[in-house]
Structure 1
Amino acid sequence: MPIGVFARRTGLTSSALRFYADSRLLSPAEVDPASGYRYYTADQVGRATALRRLREIAMPLTAVEAVLDAGPEEAARLIDDHVARVLGEAVAAQRTAGLVKSSLRAVPGLPVVALQGPVLADAVEQVLTATARNPELPVLGGLRVEVDREAVTLTATDRYRLSTRTLVPSEPPAATWAATVAGDELRAAVVEVRRSTLVRVEATAQGVRLRLKGREDQYCRSLTAEFPDFRAMLDALPEVGTRVTVAKGSLLRALEEDLGERVALRVAENGTELRVSGGGRPGRRRLPATVVGRELDICFELTTLYPAVSTAVGPDVMLDLRGSDQPVTVRSADRGDLTTLAMPVRPQPATE
């Protein structure tokens, strides 16, 4: 087909096709020696379309060539690497832009609180596991930071999990303050935060400035959307009816087995074990546990329960169960400063 027809089929312009031919990324199937007209075949449409899409995600020509000439698995890896790099650069650009904008204002940041860098970094990483990337609800990707006269509380939720951790300030807080901070930007700042013995948090008009001792300051945007009213949900929770204490490592290994998308837990009244299985068939794996309270069967999505358990601090986890249709509270058996709530799902019938 002539170059004009091929251009319409692939979404590329004729000039772009000439450029890619000169770059040897997409050579014509045939070139008329007399007129110089270029012709392409239907078999080349797939490569041309892939080339256009890769360029739309700002992939450089050398990387495009590597993807087009690689096998499916290697090509997928190269694409993932490129996207991760682009996202990282975008987050870094947002943070730098925030610093520049804040420096243009005559009003300095409001000192809020000082925290130990390694402790803050750990807390951010733990709590951010409960965030979600949702274009329609970007606030679910944020971390709620609340400072009062005694403590700093970090909270995140994706509507199926809610994680919260309370930190003790290194110095008495200078102000009572709250904001929802962009989670991706906090993740990017964690590396530098961890290397600083002391982090001073300052509030600005558009975000937070993290002043690091001996290192370059970090800046994270605040999100303007209203954070979910999680306290109303917490206040409405019924009393805990069953408490299970189990070794964290044993429970994680059980969850890592091939259980499928759903995990079922069963506990007997005041029993000595926790039964773990996939789908709607409790009892496949029996773990030594201490059970206080009534018998209960409860089911979770694996992607909801596993992160809640894996981020718990210490060798043993405590599961506070309220019923098969109520959130379970997951926390360390000996440290209560990190708490995660995980929402169960309806048990799957054995015939499905």
Structure 2
Amino acid sequence: MKFRIDLAPLAAAVADAARALPSRPPVAALSAVKLEATGSQLTVAAFDYEVSAKATTDADVTDGGTVLVPGRLLVDITRTLKGKHPIDIELDGSSLVSITSGNIRYTLHTLPQEEYPALPQPGDASGTVTGNDLNQAVAQVAAAAGRDDTLPILTGVQLTVTDGKLTLAATDRYRFAVRTISWKPTSDTTSGQALVPAKALLDASKMFADAEQADLALPASQGVLGMSGPSRSTTMRALDGQLPDYKKLWPTEFAGTAIVDRDELIAAVKRVAVVAERNTPVRLHFSPGVLSLTAGSSDDAQARDRIDAHFDTVTGAPLTIGFNPGFLLDGLDALGTHSIQFGIVGPGKPAVLNGLDKDGNDLGDDALTYLIMPIRLPS
């Protein structure tokens, strides 16, 4: 094997494929990335039995071939190399690969190819989405996914296809994020569902952020979700089970609503949260024209702040509700809009956060909705 390639496309392909490298490889071969040079292209691939990633780019191939090289080391090398020199990669004998750029030369030992498993194929596309829409939606809902691996279902993002829409949802029991994007079916599959690990989906969606079109293959008998674009593809093993029906959890009537500037609220929450100990709330007290924030206790440090708010209430009385500051900030960051509208049912009931544009207009049913459970406050 022998080929020449520019640094930028090589580094990008290696970085995208390396998203599937396991942090603790169960076998030595899975610590490698697979380089395959054929025709005028280089394909870089990685696999950890759960997730696979493949990136293809143009290359000047003199001799075709396939080789396994240490993945993390190749990532570090491509990140370290600078300048405009082309990269020459050549198999030297049967167990060494040389990487040359100008005056710099690296020599890497190869790994035995017979120990490397076959990569799963993405499958036939069920439909397509815009890469940027998918990347943004996954980033927004993944903020609500759980991190506790003992509850694997709650670590996933659920993708549901229905009525020409793709809905993404995630929850860790304390918050629930839902976002819908346009979906163009490319098969007879007009509906379907898949629950996939949030981290894997988040990493994968970044590969397609600049793609005008990303093809999604919903899991079939093998239980694998496939995604592919012009030069990238990935597969993820789906999780067993499904999330609760969020439509049954969403409140439809509110005791009050409030509109606040998002950036002002984020800054205020961060200021008062400095004194909030672990699992203690930041208290939001809504009254006409003002949102007051407090944290801490009389036995320890306390903080108070206030910002402007447009507040409407059915009863005419102020409303106070407490939230985990980290969960609240996650939602505010994910919404990413000029203003935030709170829908408040009561102190012990879930609140619904929606984003508003700079003119105060609702962004529609497809925009991110973030439901968050409050922390019960002492009477």
Q: Name the TM tier (shorter chain).
A: 0.5 to 0.7
* TM-score normalised by the chain length of structure 1: 0.66
Aligned residue number for residue 241 of structure 1: 255
Determine whether 1:273 maps to 2:290.
Answer: yes
Aligned residue number for residue 226 of structure 2: 209
Aligned residue number for residue 288 of structure 1: 308
For residue 167 of structure 1, report the CA deviation from its aligned partner. Answer: 0.7
Q: Supply the distance in 2 between the matched residues of 1:196 and 1:136 (Cα, whole angstroms).
A: 35
Q: Supply the distance in 2 between the matched residues of 1:232 and 1:130 (Cα, whole angstroms).
A: 18
* TM-score normalised by the chain length of structure 2: 0.62
Amino acid at match of 1:298: I
For residue 283 of structure 1, report the CA deviation from its aligned partner. Answer: 8.9
Amino acid at match of 1:267: F
Of the candidates 310, 317, 327, which is equivalent to residue 340 of structure 2?
317
Q: Supply the distance in 2 between the matched residues of 1:100 and 1:197 (Cα, whole angstroms).
A: 29
What are the equivalent positions in structure 2 for 1:1-352 lying under 5 Å apart? Answer: 86=23, 92-93=47-48, 94-96=50-52, 100=118, 102-103=120-121, 109-170=123-184, 174-204=189-219, 205-212=222-229, 214-234=230-250, 237=251, 239-257=253-271, 258-261=274-277, 262-268=281-287, 271-279=288-296, 284-293=304-313, 294=316, 295-333=318-356, 334-336=362-364, 337-348=367-378
Q: Supply the distance in 2 between the matched residues of 1:299 and 1:186 (Cα, whole angstroms).
A: 31
Asked whether the 8 Å contact 2:158–2:242 carries over to 1, the reply is no
Amino acid at match of 2:330: P
Higher strand share goes to which structure?
Answer: 2
Q: Supply the distance in 2 between the matched residues of 1:279 and 1:304 (Cα, whole angstroms).
A: 17
Asked whether the 8 Å contact 2:53–2:232 carries over to 1, the reply is no
For residues 298 and 283 of structure 1, do their structure 2 counterparts lie closer, same or farther at Cα, with a shift above 3 Å needed?
farther
Q: Supply the distance in 2 between the matched residues of 1:168 and 1:316 (Cα, whole angstroms).
A: 24
For residues 283 and 244 of structure 1, do their structure 2 counterparts lie closer, same or farther at Cα, with a shift above 3 Å needed?
farther
Higher helix share goes to which structure?
Answer: 1
Q: Supply the distance in 2 between the matched residues of 1:243 and 1:92 (Cα, whole angstroms).
A: 48
For residue 341 of structure 1, report the CA deviation from its aligned partner. Answer: 0.4
Q: Supply the distance in 2 between the matched residues of 1:263 and 1:124 (Cα, whole angstroms).
A: 27
Q: Supply the distance in 2 between the matched residues of 1:111 and 1:215 (Cα, whole angstroms).
A: 15
Which secondary structure does the structure 2 equivalent of 1:240 belong to? coil
Asked whether the 8 Å contact 2:128–2:216 carries over to 1, the reply is yes
Asked whether the 8 Å contact 1:111–1:175 carries over to 2, the reply is no
Q: Supply the distance in 2 between the matched residues of 1:119 and 1:289 (Cα, whole angstroms).
A: 31
For residue 238 of structure 1, report the CA deviation from its aligned partner. Answer: 5.4
Q: Supply the distance in 2 between the matched residues of 1:242 and 1:149 (Cα, whole angstroms).
A: 32
For residue 280 of structure 1, report the CA deviation from its aligned partner. Answer: 6.2
For residues 203 and 300 of structure 1, do their structure 2 counterparts lie closer, same or farther at Cα, with a shift above 3 Å needed?
same
Asked whether the 8 Å contact 1:181–1:221 carries over to 2, the reply is yes
Which secondary structure does the structure 1 equivalent of 2:170 belong to? strand
Q: Supply the distance in 1 between the matched residues of 2:22 and 2:240 (Cα, whole angstroms).
A: 27
Q: Supply the distance in 1 between the matched residues of 2:246 and 2:118 (Cα, whole angstroms).
A: 34
Which secondary structure does the structure 1 equivalent of 2:23 belong to? helix
Gap runs ≥5 in structure 2: 1-20, 32-45, 55-116, 357-361
For residue 149 of structure 1, report the CA deviation from its aligned partner. Answer: 2.1
Aligned residue number for residue 15 of structure 2: none
Q: How many residues end up aligned between the 2 structures?
A: 257
Q: Supply the distance in 1 between the matched residues of 2:339 and 2:303 (Cα, whole angstroms).
A: 21
Q: Supply the distance in 1 between the matched residues of 2:52 and 2:340 (Cα, whole angstroms).
A: 40
Asked whether the 8 Å contact 2:126–2:216 carries over to 1, the reply is yes
For residues 247 and 259 of structure 1, do their structure 2 counterparts lie closer, same or farther at Cα, with a shift above 3 Å needed?
farther
Q: Supply the distance in 2 between the matched residues of 1:150 and 1:132 (Cα, whole angstroms).
A: 28
Asked whether the 8 Å contact 1:132–1:158 carries over to 2, the reply is yes
CA-atom RMSD, angstroms?
2.8
Question: What fraction of aligned residue pairs are identical, expressed as a percent?
Answer: 23
Deviates more, 1:288-297 or 1:163-172: 163-172
For residue 137 of structure 1, report the CA deviation from its aligned partner. Answer: 1.0
Asked whether the 8 Å contact 2:153–2:243 carries over to 1, the reply is yes
Gap runs ≥5 in structure 1: 1-83
For residues 157 and 196 of structure 1, do their structure 2 counterparts lie closer, same or farther at Cα, with a shift above 3 Å needed?
same
Amino acid at match of 1:330: L
Asked whether the 8 Å contact 1:312–1:332 carries over to 2, the reply is yes
For residue 119 of structure 1, report the CA deviation from its aligned partner. Answer: 1.1
Q: Supply the distance in 1 between the matched residues of 2:152 and 2:158 (Cα, whole angstroms).
A: 13
- Higher Cα Rg: structure 1 or 2? 1
Amino acid at match of 2:294: S
**Residue-by-residue CA offset, 1:204-238 (whole Å, 9 max, x unaligned):** 331211121x212111111013323433323xx35
Asked whether the 8 Å contact 2:204–2:234 carries over to 1, the reply is yes
Asked whether the 8 Å contact 1:115–1:170 carries over to 2, the reply is yes
